[in-house]
């Protein structure tokens, strides 16, 4: 009965963490290019009361008698499926169609990666994120620019007042990873490289293995509200059932104690 209570207690912690993940997904349903997370679980060690012998006759046991000890969370995988497209018409809004991340310089000088392409211009005319992180490679738009065109392969071309023709001022490059689910989330729509993700591979948008760029659009969150609500109901029911198991084990212990007292 004590084993049942401990197993059920671990079963209550599992849906509690699952609900935390679901709540974070729902909170970011309107966050640009947010990728939903999925919590994974594994069963704990088993106690073998009677091993399988595989023999014939009365002495043989084709199946072992094992009792489990509950479950625990093992990972929190981020799902990098493509989100819906939100057409904004803003020339500095960029969407990656396919695999890849924009590169930005973090405050500590290291490189961060993001799928959020809602870029701005800072006081120096540099292309930056809403948080002020400079896009790498650095691209500067002059003050007298009247139009900005960014091709699917990342070339940034501008037209300036009083200057005939167009001028290419930079090239946007994107990064991809062997295991993007292994990237470490940093908040502020940023992720960073980790041992699990592998080293960043830099390339031209639209080339082999890299997604192309669409100007004037943003990627929406890939969170499906209905699906998350279903997961929330499942987590709630799992919590309730495990709490009932603890209650049943407690009642059995109370009954056993009453019998002994009698």
At 260, is the pLDDT very low, low, confident or very high (cuts 50, 70, 90)? low
Mean pLDDT of 104-120: 95
Question: Cα(177)–Cα(257) distance, rounded to whole angstroms?
Answer: 59
Residue 205 pLDDT: 97
Mean pLDDT of 12-18: 88
Residue 25 pLDDT: 97
Burial of 99 (0-12, 13-18, 19+ CB in 10 A): middle
Residue 55 pLDDT: 62
pLDDT higher at 169 or 249: 169
Residue 80 pLDDT: 95
**Under a CB-based contact definition with an 8 Å cutoff, are residues 116 and 33 in contact?**
yes
Q: Rounded to an integer, what is the distance from CA 241 to the centroid of its chain?
A: 28
Q: Which of 6-10, 161-165, 257-261 has the lowest mean pLDDT?
A: 257-261
DSSP secondary structure string for all residues of 42-108: EE---EEEE-----SGGG--SS-EEE---EEEEEEEE--PPPPEEE---TTBEEEESS-EEEEE-TT
Q: Which residues pair with 43 in a beta bridge?
A: 71
Question: By 3-state DSSP, what share of the chain in percent is helix, strand and coil, each rounded to 5?
Answer: 25, 35, 40
Please determine, for residue 252, whether its predicted confidence score (pLDDT) is greater than 90.
no
Q: Examine residue 174 and say whether the peptide bond preceding it is cis (omega within 30 degrees of 0).
A: no
Please determine, for residue 136, whether its predicted confidence score (pLDDT) is greater than 60.
yes
Range with top average pLDDT, 7-11, 161-165, 172-176: 172-176
- Angle of helix 2-27 relative to helix 225-261, nearest 10 degrees, comes to 160
Please determine, for residue 62, whether its predicted confidence score (pLDDT) is greater than 80.
no
- The string of pLDDT tens digits covering residues 20-58 is 999 999 999 999 999 999 999 888 878 888 787 776 656
3-state secondary structure of 239: helix
């Amino acid at each position: 009965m004590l084993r049942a209570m401990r197993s059920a207690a671990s079963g209550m912690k599992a849906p509690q963490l699952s609900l935390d993940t679901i709540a974070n997904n729902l909170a970011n349903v309107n966050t640009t290019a947010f990728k939903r997370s999925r919590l994974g679980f594994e069963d704990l060690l088993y106690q073998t009361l009677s091993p399988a012998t595989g023999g014939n006759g009365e002495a043989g046991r084709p199946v072992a008698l094992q009792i489990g000890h509950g479950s625990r969370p093992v990972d929190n995988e981020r799902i990098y499926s493509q989100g819906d497209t939100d057409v904004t018409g803003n020339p500095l809004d960029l969407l990656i169609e396919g695999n890849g991340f924009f590169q930005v310089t973090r405050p500590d000088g290291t490189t961060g990666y993001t799928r959020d392409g809602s870029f701005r211009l800072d006081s120096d005319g540099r292309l930056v994120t809403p948080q002020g992180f400079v896009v790498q490679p650095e691209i500067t738009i002059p003050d007298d620019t009247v139009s900005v065109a960014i091709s699917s392969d990342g070339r940034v071309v501008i037209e300036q007042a009083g200057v005939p023709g167009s001028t290419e001022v930079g090239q946007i490059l994107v990064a991809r990873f062997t295991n993007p689910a292994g990237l470490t989330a940093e908040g502020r729509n940023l992720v960073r490289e980790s041992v699990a993700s592998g080293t960043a591979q830099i390339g031209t948008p639209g080339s082999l293995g890299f997604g192309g760029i669409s100007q004037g659009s943003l990627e929406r969150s890939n969170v499906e509200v209905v699906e998350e609500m279903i997961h929330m109901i499942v987590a709630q029911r799992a919590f309730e059932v495990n709490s009932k198991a603890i209650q049943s084990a407690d009642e059995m212990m109370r009954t056993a104690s009453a019998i002994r007292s009698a």
